[in-house]
Amino acid sequence: MKKISRRIFLGAGTATTVVAMSQLLASCNQTQEQTGNKTQQSKEQTEINLYSSRHYNTDNALYDEFTKETGIKVNLVEGKAEELTERIKSEGSNSPADILITVDAGRLWAAKEQGIFAPVDSEILKKRIPANLRDPEGHWFSYSIRARVIMYNKEKIKPEQLSTYEDLANPKWKGKIAIRSSSNIYNKSLVASIIEADGEKASEEWCRAFVANFARPPQGNDRAQIEAAASGIADLAIANTYYLPRYKRSEDKAKQQIFNKIGVFFPNQKNRGTHVNVSGAGLVKTSPNREGAIKFLEYLSSKSAQEYFAQGNDEYPVVKGVSLDPILKSFGTFKQDTVDISSFGRLSATAVKVMDRAGWK
Ligand code: FE2
């Protein structure tokens, strides 16, 4: 028991340990078998189990800071979003999960639909997080924003040539656009936002013409699209903003060169604004440490936590007045699409059908 605990439970200021889910489950079973109710209770009050599908190393510092402030240890279980929600469902009322944190509004919406979360009524969260970036019933809250923008090869394209997502269907872009596959959640949400704005029929026409402009069959992640634009395979890449500053910060000269070649364009500034997606979290319905978990949700909206998102992982904060990393700031300010982000989940299945019919692999 002790040996397993040391591997799982973190002390203040230590590097966050990532545990395999099977280890955590094994340990929880042992905890139930080997400890009395009293010990179990006090443990529950001083620890939270965070199930996270975020894939950023800088999050560890964010969680350590929470432990320093509150004395509540954070046990991190990492996995893919779908695996984590399945896990919580199969663990049922015995689930050790207090919080589920994930990326993409569509996934947060789906987790709510599956009955993963309990509502949280927190004045702090309602005050700090804009209404379109949280579930109206308090099942989940967004903590950071990423814009899905057009990145362009500065040697080939002038920003004046660019305007909207819709314009990417124009035949002038034939063979010039790099984007990852339609199975990617960021693309599902982007297309859902276009369906919400333009309707299903117009979106399908748009999508067909957009796919006809691809420089190559979709392959690789967002970074692969940025690199395709930098190397001249494509002129334009669709990617999330936070990937680009990492090239500038790299020790590798070739990566810095990639940064220097790429410009960032925020589409749809003259109408609804640029599509943004989020990272967010909610209280798991069966949370053993409800009070600690709500403290954690509130902590994520604090100024210092927001600075970790904005300066550690180059995401945009959801709370006003938090300063950005200078590289992110250099991309400029932009108008965000303020559509209710729940629509990305609601329209996700339609988006998949539209992309499929349009031949987006
Ligand atoms: Fe990502």
DSSP assignment of 5-33 equals HHHHPPPTTSPPPEE-HHHHHHHHHHHHH
Distance 146 CA to ligand 1 centre (A): 9
Distance 28 CA to ligand 1 centre (A): 30
Distance 239 CA to ligand 1 centre (A): 9
Distance 42 CA to ligand 1 centre (A): 36
Distance 197 CA to ligand 1 centre (A): 24
* Domain at 147-275+336-358: CATH code: 3.40.190.10
pTM of the model: 0.86
Distance 118 CA to ligand 1 centre (A): 26
Distance 245 CA to ligand 1 centre (A): 13
Kindly state the DSSP code that residue 323 receives in the 8-state scheme. P
User: How many CB atoms within 10 Å of residue 350?
Assistant: 17
> What are the pLDDT digits (tens) for 176-189?
999 999 999 999 99
- Give the separation between CA 145 and CA 168, rounded to whole angstroms: 23
> What are the pLDDT digits (tens) for 121-137?
999 999 999 999 999 99
Sequence-separated (6 or more) residues with CB below 8 Å from residue 251 = none
Q: What is the pLDDT of residue 5?
A: 27
| Share above pLDDT 70 across residues of the chain, in percent, rounded to a whole number | 88
Helices (H), the chain: 2-8, 21-34, 37-46, 59-70, 81-91, 105-113, 123-128, 185-198, 200-212, 222-231, 245-249, 253-261, 290-300, 303-307, 326-330, 342-346, 348-357
Assign domain 46-145+277-324 to a CATH class.
Answer: alpha beta
> What are the pLDDT digits (tens) for 308-343?
988 888 999 999 999 998 999 999 999 999 999 999
Distance 263 CA to ligand 1 centre (A): 19
**99 near 282, Cβ under 8 Å?**
yes
Strands 236-240 and 177-178: parallel
Distance 85 CA to ligand 1 centre (A): 18
pLDDT of residue 38 exceeding 70, the answer is no
Domains 46-145+277-324 and 147-275+336-358 share a fold: yes
Q: Where are the domains of the chain?
A: 46-145+277-324, 147-275+336-358
β-partners of residue 130 are none
Kindly state the DSSP code that residue 149 receives in the 8-state scheme. E
Distance 103 CA to ligand 1 centre (A): 8
Sequence-separated (6 or more) residues with CB below 8 Å from residue 359 = 208, 211
What would the mean pLDDT of 215-235 be, rounded to a whole number? 98
Among the ranges given (10-14, 90-94, 308-312), the one the predictor scored with the smallest mean pLDDT: 10-14
* Sign of the dihedral defined by the CA atoms of residues 66, 67, 73, 74, in that order: positive
pLDDT, the chain, mean? 89
